Amino acid sequence: MDRIEEAIERIESLDEAAMDSAKARQDTLTKPRGSLGVLEDISVRIAGITGDYMPDINDKVITTMAGDHGIVDEGVSAYPKEVTPQMVYNFINGGAGINVLARHIGARVVVVDMGVASDLEIKHSTENFIDSKIGYGTANMTKGAAMTYEDANKSIEAGIVVLEDEMANGMDIVGVGDMGIGNTTPSSAITAFITGEPVEKVTGRGTGLDDEGLRMKIEQLKKALVLNTPSREDAIDILAKIGGFEIGGMAGVILAAASHRIPVVVDGFISGAAALIAYELSPRIKDYLIASHLSVEAGHRAILNHIGLEPLFNLNMRLGEGTGAALGISIVEASCKILREMATFEEAGVPDKE
């Protein structure tokens, strides 16, 4: 049994007893029952995920996975692929949006090279970078498969290893984020193929394409889907034919987190595509997923609808990196603090009308 099968085998149902106890406690807190709405629901679900009716969120981790894409050669991005390694250095040095928001919520960022198309020159020892490179970017999927089946499998396994290794440093919750110029294109391909929605409906402007650029992007996506014909019954084949290394890595993180009863906060469109791959491998991961926000990217709603998730907020974000996940983690932490720290009617000496 390989790592992927082992992870899938370990994914269990939510702990109903912990959820019942959490719900019972919520109903005794000094507030009208249900008055904190989704915050109450989140805390109950985290109880079910962790098996603890008063879960405590302390060790917060965001994995930001990077990879390049051969289809960028077809002009599907407004930025060149050289931006990918430059942004990886920015992540490592703490200067990116995700670093700011991670510091804001007290999370650590783990940057992973899954398939950057160059050798990164890390000039000093750093604990926040992991080299899990599968290849120097994917192949151009308008001319053939983005990667081999074996490499697709390796990318998911690498994500599992990253998650399990990071658990040794403490992990109560994990957010998944991405970096990769052009990666809205494979994400649109995955979304269209799995959800059955038209390519036009799930393809957006990415980093800022104009109308002609968007038209060409849709054209190239249709070409790639016709050429590659993935197997609808094999999520790894879908990833191999039209995916990306960082998408596979995030899918692995999601599977591993669920297998260890760790809640996963999904960022936006790219990490949503990874969640689709993970969901196709094991629908049981749905219970462990929390959708942070609704991305501006056109296909994100189709992903959430397919899995059956509702986003916590909509701030018109589309940066990626795990920025939405960071904000989502802060909401999850707040929900658990309400459950743990708010006084009950009995403790406060307040009569409970209900």
CA geometry: angle 112, 113, 114, nearest 5 deg: 100
Hey, what are 3's tokens? Answer: 């790592």
CA geometry: angle 252, 145, 131, nearest 5 deg: 40
Catalytic residue among 150, 321, 333, 347: 321
Hey, what are 86's tokens? Answer: 């430059």
> What distances in angstroms separate CA 270 from CA 41, 175, 186, 296, 342, one per listed residue?
26, 13, 9, 12, 36
Phi, psi torsion values for 97, nearest 5 degrees: -55, -40
Hey, what are 292's tokens? Answer: 């942070």
Strand order through the sheet with 60-67: 129-131, 107-115, 60-67, 173-179, 264-266, 289-291
> What distances in angstroms separate CA 219 from CA 17, 76, 232, 277, 316, one per listed residue?
51, 10, 22, 23, 26
Distance, in Å, from the CA atom of 69 to the CA atom of 141, rounded to the nearest integer, reads 9
Hey, what are 239's tokens? Answer: 């990833």
Reply yes or no on whether 200 is catalytic. Answer: no
> What distances in angstroms separate CA 69 from CA 73, 75, 99, 104, 219, one per listed residue?
8, 11, 24, 31, 17
Could you identify the residue written with the tokens 């289809």? 71
Element (H, E) at 62: strand 60-67
Hey, what are 306's tokens? Answer: 């397919």
Catalytic residues: 321
